[in-house]
Structure 1
Protein backbone atom coordinates (compact mmCIF):
# COMPACT_ATOMS: atom_id res chain seq x y z
CA UNK A 1 0.00 0.00 0.00
CA UNK A 2 1.14 3.51 -0.81
CA UNK A 3 0.12 6.57 1.22
CA UNK A 4 0.93 10.18 0.41
CA UNK A 5 -0.28 13.69 1.17
CA UNK A 6 -0.42 16.83 -0.97
CA UNK A 7 -1.02 20.27 0.56
CA UNK A 8 -2.22 23.16 -1.59
CA UNK A 9 -2.78 26.73 -0.41
CA UNK A 10 -5.70 28.47 -2.11
CA UNK A 11 -6.72 32.14 -1.83
CA UNK A 12 -10.43 31.36 -1.53
CA UNK A 13 -12.67 30.37 1.42
CA UNK A 14 -12.98 26.70 2.46
CA UNK A 15 -16.66 26.36 1.49
CA UNK A 16 -15.95 27.50 -2.07
CA UNK A 17 -12.94 25.19 -2.42
CA UNK A 18 -14.94 22.29 -0.91
CA UNK A 19 -17.77 22.81 -3.41
CA UNK A 20 -15.43 23.14 -6.39
CA UNK A 21 -13.56 20.00 -5.36
CA UNK A 22 -16.80 17.99 -5.50
CA UNK A 23 -17.74 19.32 -8.94
CA UNK A 24 -17.60 16.64 -11.65
CA UNK A 25 -17.08 19.23 -14.41
CA UNK A 26 -14.09 20.77 -12.61
CA UNK A 27 -12.57 17.33 -12.10
CA UNK A 28 -13.05 16.43 -15.76
CA UNK A 29 -11.38 19.69 -16.86
CA UNK A 30 -8.48 19.07 -14.46
CA UNK A 31 -7.82 15.66 -16.04
CA UNK A 32 -8.03 16.75 -19.68
CA UNK A 33 -4.50 15.49 -20.41
CA UNK A 34 -5.61 11.91 -19.76
CA UNK A 35 -8.84 12.30 -21.71
CA UNK A 36 -10.81 11.57 -18.55
CA UNK A 37 -14.56 11.71 -18.99
CA UNK A 38 -17.68 10.65 -17.12
CA UNK A 39 -19.40 7.50 -18.36
CA UNK A 40 -21.79 6.78 -15.48
CA UNK A 41 -23.30 7.97 -12.22
CA UNK A 42 -23.28 11.71 -11.55
CA UNK A 43 -22.43 13.23 -14.92
CA UNK A 44 -22.36 16.95 -14.06
CA UNK A 45 -22.38 19.31 -11.11
CA UNK A 46 -21.56 18.70 -7.47
CA UNK A 47 -21.51 15.24 -5.92
CA UNK A 48 -23.08 14.46 -2.53
CA UNK A 49 -22.79 11.75 0.11
CA UNK A 50 -23.38 8.27 -1.29
CA UNK A 51 -23.26 9.30 -4.93
CA UNK A 52 -21.05 7.55 -7.46
CA UNK A 53 -19.33 8.56 -10.66
CA UNK A 54 -17.63 6.33 -13.23
CA UNK A 55 -14.61 7.82 -15.00
CA UNK A 56 -12.97 6.58 -18.14
CA UNK A 57 -9.42 7.71 -18.95
CA UNK A 58 -6.10 6.66 -20.40
CA UNK A 59 -2.97 6.52 -18.24
CA UNK A 60 0.34 5.01 -19.34
CA UNK A 61 -1.36 4.44 -22.71
CA UNK A 62 -3.83 2.04 -21.11
CA UNK A 63 -7.58 2.72 -21.02
CA UNK A 64 -9.31 2.16 -17.67
CA UNK A 65 -12.54 2.80 -15.81
CA UNK A 66 -12.99 3.62 -12.17
CA UNK A 67 -16.19 4.04 -10.20
CA UNK A 68 -15.86 5.99 -6.98
CA UNK A 69 -18.35 6.83 -4.23
CA UNK A 70 -18.47 9.75 -1.81
CA UNK A 71 -18.30 7.87 1.51
CA UNK A 72 -17.91 10.81 3.91
CA UNK A 73 -19.20 14.37 3.50
CA UNK A 74 -18.81 17.03 6.20
CA UNK A 75 -18.93 20.49 4.60
CA UNK A 76 -16.83 22.54 4.51
CA UNK A 77 -14.24 20.48 6.39
CA UNK A 78 -13.77 17.27 4.48
CA UNK A 79 -15.06 14.54 2.21
CA UNK A 80 -13.81 11.13 1.14
CA UNK A 81 -14.05 9.32 -2.17
CA UNK A 82 -13.31 5.61 -2.44
CA UNK A 83 -13.08 3.26 -5.39
CA UNK A 84 -16.06 0.94 -5.76
CA UNK A 85 -14.62 -0.75 -8.83
CA UNK A 86 -11.65 -0.05 -11.03
CA UNK A 87 -7.94 -0.48 -11.57
CA UNK A 88 -6.80 -0.44 -7.94
CA UNK A 89 -7.11 -3.12 -5.33
CA UNK A 90 -7.85 -0.19 -2.99
CA UNK A 91 -8.24 3.57 -3.54
CA UNK A 92 -9.04 5.94 -0.66
CA UNK A 93 -8.85 9.73 -1.08
CA UNK A 94 -9.62 12.03 1.86
CA UNK A 95 -9.92 15.75 1.11
CA UNK A 96 -9.50 18.26 3.98
CA UNK A 97 -10.22 22.00 3.81
CA UNK A 98 -8.92 24.15 6.65
CA UNK A 99 -9.05 27.96 7.01
CA UNK A 100 -5.55 29.39 6.64
CA UNK A 101 -6.23 32.37 8.94
CA UNK A 102 -6.01 34.83 6.04
CA UNK A 103 -9.34 34.18 4.34
CA UNK A 104 -7.98 31.32 2.26
CA UNK A 105 -7.83 27.54 2.47
CA UNK A 106 -5.22 24.94 3.24
CA UNK A 107 -6.40 22.01 1.12
CA UNK A 108 -4.87 18.68 2.13
CA UNK A 109 -5.29 15.46 0.17
CA UNK A 110 -4.51 12.14 1.84
CA UNK A 111 -4.38 9.26 -0.61
CA UNK A 112 -3.95 5.56 0.10
CA UNK A 113 -3.89 3.05 -2.71
CA UNK A 114 -2.88 -0.50 -3.46
CA UNK A 115 -2.26 -1.72 -6.98
CA UNK A 116 -3.75 -5.06 -8.04
CA UNK A 117 -1.79 -8.21 -8.91
CA UNK A 118 0.09 -8.78 -5.65
CA UNK A 119 3.88 -8.68 -6.17
CA UNK A 120 3.53 -7.28 -9.72
CA UNK A 121 1.32 -4.50 -8.38
CA UNK A 122 3.83 -3.66 -5.64
CA UNK A 123 6.51 -3.47 -8.33
CA UNK A 124 4.30 -1.12 -10.40
CA UNK A 125 3.78 1.06 -7.32
CA UNK A 126 7.54 1.22 -6.74
CA UNK A 127 8.51 1.78 -10.38
CA UNK A 128 5.85 4.23 -11.50
CA UNK A 129 2.73 4.86 -9.44
CA UNK A 130 4.48 6.32 -6.37
CA UNK A 131 5.70 9.21 -8.57
CA UNK A 132 2.84 9.41 -11.05
CA UNK A 133 -0.07 9.59 -8.59
CA UNK A 134 1.26 12.56 -6.52
CA UNK A 135 1.99 14.36 -9.81
CA UNK A 136 -1.59 13.72 -10.97
CA UNK A 137 -3.04 15.04 -7.69
CA UNK A 138 -0.82 18.16 -7.78
CA UNK A 139 -1.96 18.81 -11.35
CA UNK A 140 -5.61 18.41 -10.36
CA UNK A 141 -5.08 20.72 -7.38
CA UNK A 142 -3.51 23.41 -9.56
CA UNK A 143 -6.73 23.41 -11.59
CA UNK A 144 -8.92 23.52 -8.44
CA UNK A 145 -6.79 26.41 -7.15
CA UNK A 146 -7.10 28.46 -10.35
CA UNK A 147 -10.84 27.76 -10.58
CA UNK A 148 -11.49 28.73 -6.93
CA UNK A 149 -9.33 31.83 -7.04
CA UNK A 150 -11.01 33.01 -10.26
CA UNK A 151 -14.47 32.44 -8.73
CA UNK A 152 -13.63 34.33 -5.56
Structure 2
Protein backbone atom coordinates (compact mmCIF):
# COMPACT_ATOMS: atom_id res chain seq x y z
CA UNK A 1 0.00 0.00 0.00
CA UNK A 2 1.16 3.52 -0.80
CA UNK A 3 0.26 6.89 0.59
CA UNK A 4 1.20 10.50 1.02
CA UNK A 5 0.14 13.69 2.76
CA UNK A 6 -0.05 17.18 1.27
CA UNK A 7 -0.71 20.47 3.00
CA UNK A 8 -2.03 23.54 1.17
CA UNK A 9 -2.55 26.97 2.71
CA UNK A 10 -5.60 28.82 1.37
CA UNK A 11 -6.54 32.38 2.26
CA UNK A 12 -10.21 31.56 2.82
CA UNK A 13 -12.35 30.32 5.72
CA UNK A 14 -12.44 26.57 6.39
CA UNK A 15 -16.19 26.40 5.67
CA UNK A 16 -15.59 27.70 2.12
CA UNK A 17 -12.66 25.33 1.55
CA UNK A 18 -14.76 22.43 2.86
CA UNK A 19 -17.73 23.28 0.63
CA UNK A 20 -15.67 23.75 -2.54
CA UNK A 21 -13.79 20.51 -1.88
CA UNK A 22 -17.12 18.65 -1.90
CA UNK A 23 -18.22 20.26 -5.17
CA UNK A 24 -18.53 17.84 -8.08
CA UNK A 25 -18.29 20.82 -10.45
CA UNK A 26 -15.06 22.02 -8.80
CA UNK A 27 -13.57 18.54 -9.13
CA UNK A 28 -14.51 18.47 -12.82
CA UNK A 29 -13.00 21.92 -13.35
CA UNK A 30 -9.79 21.10 -11.52
CA UNK A 31 -9.32 17.78 -13.35
CA UNK A 32 -10.14 19.05 -16.85
CA UNK A 33 -6.77 17.83 -18.20
CA UNK A 34 -7.69 14.21 -17.53
CA UNK A 35 -11.26 14.70 -18.74
CA UNK A 36 -12.81 13.59 -15.45
CA UNK A 37 -16.60 13.65 -15.63
CA UNK A 38 -19.25 12.60 -13.13
CA UNK A 39 -21.47 10.07 -14.91
CA UNK A 40 -23.60 8.54 -12.12
CA UNK A 41 -24.68 9.23 -8.56
CA UNK A 42 -24.25 12.87 -7.58
CA UNK A 43 -23.16 14.50 -10.85
CA UNK A 44 -23.36 18.20 -10.00
CA UNK A 45 -23.35 20.43 -6.93
CA UNK A 46 -22.10 19.36 -3.53
CA UNK A 47 -21.82 15.70 -2.57
CA UNK A 48 -22.80 14.84 0.99
CA UNK A 49 -22.49 12.14 3.62
CA UNK A 50 -23.29 8.65 2.37
CA UNK A 51 -23.64 9.82 -1.22
CA UNK A 52 -21.59 8.48 -4.11
CA UNK A 53 -20.33 9.61 -7.49
CA UNK A 54 -19.04 7.63 -10.44
CA UNK A 55 -16.22 9.29 -12.36
CA UNK A 56 -15.10 8.57 -15.89
CA UNK A 57 -11.55 9.68 -16.70
CA UNK A 58 -8.44 9.01 -18.73
CA UNK A 59 -5.06 8.60 -17.05
CA UNK A 60 -1.94 7.17 -18.71
CA UNK A 61 -4.03 6.97 -21.90
CA UNK A 62 -6.37 4.47 -20.26
CA UNK A 63 -10.09 5.13 -19.72
CA UNK A 64 -11.54 4.02 -16.41
CA UNK A 65 -14.51 4.43 -14.08
CA UNK A 66 -14.31 4.89 -10.34
CA UNK A 67 -17.18 5.09 -7.87
CA UNK A 68 -16.44 6.74 -4.55
CA UNK A 69 -18.56 7.63 -1.55
CA UNK A 70 -18.34 10.10 1.31
CA UNK A 71 -17.78 7.80 4.29
CA UNK A 72 -16.98 10.37 7.00
CA UNK A 73 -18.40 13.89 7.25
CA UNK A 74 -17.68 16.48 9.96
CA UNK A 75 -18.26 19.99 8.56
CA UNK A 76 -16.25 22.16 8.25
CA UNK A 77 -13.34 20.14 9.66
CA UNK A 78 -13.08 16.85 7.80
CA UNK A 79 -14.51 14.41 5.32
CA UNK A 80 -13.33 11.15 3.77
CA UNK A 81 -14.00 9.75 0.33
CA UNK A 82 -13.35 6.08 -0.41
CA UNK A 83 -13.48 4.03 -3.58
CA UNK A 84 -16.40 1.61 -3.79
CA UNK A 85 -15.37 0.24 -7.18
CA UNK A 86 -12.73 1.18 -9.68
CA UNK A 87 -9.12 0.83 -10.72
CA UNK A 88 -7.56 0.55 -7.25
CA UNK A 89 -7.70 -2.31 -4.80
CA UNK A 90 -8.15 0.46 -2.23
CA UNK A 91 -8.48 4.26 -2.36
CA UNK A 92 -8.96 6.34 0.82
CA UNK A 93 -8.70 10.15 0.86
CA UNK A 94 -9.10 12.20 4.03
CA UNK A 95 -9.61 15.95 3.62
CA UNK A 96 -8.94 18.00 6.77
CA UNK A 97 -9.44 21.75 7.16
CA UNK A 98 -7.71 23.62 9.98
CA UNK A 99 -8.38 27.33 10.60
CA UNK A 100 -5.06 29.15 10.48
CA UNK A 101 -5.40 32.84 11.26
CA UNK A 102 -7.29 34.42 8.37
CA UNK A 103 -7.01 31.28 6.25
CA UNK A 104 -7.10 27.52 6.26
CA UNK A 105 -4.57 24.71 6.15
CA UNK A 106 -6.06 22.05 3.91
CA UNK A 107 -4.50 18.67 4.62
CA UNK A 108 -4.92 15.73 2.24
CA UNK A 109 -4.04 12.24 3.46
CA UNK A 110 -4.24 9.58 0.79
CA UNK A 111 -3.75 5.84 0.98
CA UNK A 112 -4.14 3.58 -2.03
CA UNK A 113 -3.28 0.14 -3.25
CA UNK A 114 -2.80 -0.68 -6.90
CA UNK A 115 -4.11 -3.94 -8.34
CA UNK A 116 -1.88 -6.73 -9.68
CA UNK A 117 -0.07 -7.69 -6.47
CA UNK A 118 3.74 -7.31 -6.65
CA UNK A 119 3.57 -5.54 -10.03
CA UNK A 120 1.11 -3.05 -8.58
CA UNK A 121 3.41 -2.35 -5.63
CA UNK A 122 6.27 -1.65 -8.03
CA UNK A 123 4.02 0.71 -10.02
CA UNK A 124 3.03 2.48 -6.80
CA UNK A 125 6.65 3.20 -5.91
CA UNK A 126 7.93 4.03 -9.39
CA UNK A 127 5.01 5.96 -10.82
CA UNK A 128 1.70 6.22 -9.03
CA UNK A 129 2.66 8.11 -5.84
CA UNK A 130 4.29 10.96 -7.79
CA UNK A 131 1.46 11.01 -10.34
CA UNK A 132 -1.23 11.12 -7.64
CA UNK A 133 0.64 13.83 -5.72
CA UNK A 134 0.75 15.97 -8.89
CA UNK A 135 -2.99 15.49 -9.43
CA UNK A 136 -3.80 16.56 -5.88
CA UNK A 137 -1.45 19.56 -6.09
CA UNK A 138 -3.17 20.54 -9.37
CA UNK A 139 -6.58 20.22 -7.74
CA UNK A 140 -5.53 22.17 -4.63
CA UNK A 141 -3.99 24.94 -6.73
CA UNK A 142 -7.28 25.21 -8.63
CA UNK A 143 -9.28 25.35 -5.36
CA UNK A 144 -6.93 27.95 -3.84
CA UNK A 145 -7.09 30.12 -6.95
CA UNK A 146 -10.88 29.91 -6.99
CA UNK A 147 -11.27 30.79 -3.31
CA UNK A 148 -8.54 33.42 -3.11
CA UNK A 149 -9.78 35.25 -6.20
CA UNK A 150 -12.99 36.02 -4.32
CA UNK A 151 -15.18 33.93 -6.58
CA UNK A 152 -16.15 31.72 -3.64
CA UNK A 153 -17.63 28.25 -3.69
CA UNK A 154 -19.96 28.70 -6.67
CA UNK A 155 -18.49 26.98 -9.71
CA UNK A 156 -19.09 27.16 -13.42
CA UNK A 157 -18.16 23.81 -15.01
CA UNK A 158 -16.16 25.59 -17.73
CA UNK A 159 -14.29 27.90 -15.36
CA UNK A 160 -10.52 27.48 -15.42
CA UNK A 161 -7.96 29.51 -13.46
TM-score when scaled to structure 1? 0.97
CA–CA separation in structure 2 for the residues paired with 1:3 and 1:123: 14
CA–CA separation in structure 2 for the residues paired with 1:48 and 1:57: 22
Q: Which residue matches 1:6?
A: 6
Residues 65-123 of structure 1: per-residue CA shift (max 9 Å, x gap): 1000000010000000000000000000000000012x110000000000011011111
Q: Which residue matches 1:110?
A: 109
For structure 2, the residue ranges without an aligned partner over 5 or more in a row are 153-161
Q: Which residue matches 1:135?
A: 134
Tell me, what secondary structure is at the counterpart of 2:139?
Answer: helix
Tell me, what secondary structure is at the counterpart of 2:123?
Answer: helix
CA–CA separation in structure 1 for the residues paired with 2:68 and 2:18: 17
Tell me, what secondary structure is at the counterpart of 2:28?
Answer: helix
Instruction: Give the RMSD, CA atoms, in angstroms.
Output: 0.7
Which aligned segments of 4 or more residues in structure 1 are displaced greater than 6 angstroms? none
